[in-house]
Copies of this chain bind each other. A is one copy, B any other.
Amino acid sequence: MTTVLLVHEISLWRASLACLLSADRELLVEVTDKGGVREAAEEWSPDIFLTDLDCPDSVEVLAEVESLRCPDSGDGALVVLARGDRPGALRRAFDAGARGYIDKFGTAKGLPEIMRKVAGGGRHIDESLAFGLLQAADVPLSRRELGVLALAAEGESVSSIAGALHLTNGTVRNYLAAAIRKTGARNRLDAIRLSKQFGWL
């Protein structure tokens, strides 16, 4: 059996995708939202963490999953649901060590095989995401800078970003300053605007 922990903020999509995956009898699927990741991971030790880069809380989910995974073992591989036109999100996933990239606009066939392949130590990238991943390499912001900027774009304060990502306030301010410098922006809002314009956020 391959165990999959699906993390999604929208309960309808959790239930629906779990239904689709569970049609394969060799997949065991559990679902949770961000708040339940730690408890579910400790209870289930999933082979795969499956999450959606389009969720507004995906920055925090990636940080939470990363803090739980044991990168040296083959356990707990990260697979992301993505779209090709958001290189910044693909970059965040890549830097967080994702080994599977599924295009939400692609065919849903073959998902169980992808889960098994990644759980077995392999990688999978939907062909339609390849160009987005290439572009991701050109995003000048680091994953941390992108993550901090993405939360700032949601209106979060420095201290709330620090809390969500387990960083100090000073570190968050440093990442924001670096993001402003690297984007050539005038200020924080300008950096958010430019990063959205380039598809990094």
Contact = CB atoms under 8 A, between A and B. Distances in A.
A13 B16 contact: yes
A107 B11 contact: yes
A76 to B, nearest CB: 22
Interface stretch (A17-25, A86-94, A165-173, A186-194): A17-25
Q: How many copies of this chain sit in the oligomeric assembly? A: 2
Interface in A4-53: 9-17, 19-20, 23
A108 interface: yes
A106 B11 contact: yes
A116 interface: no
Contacts of A20: 15-16, 19-20
Contacts of A105: 9-12
Interface of A: 9-17, 19-20, 23, 81, 102, 104-108
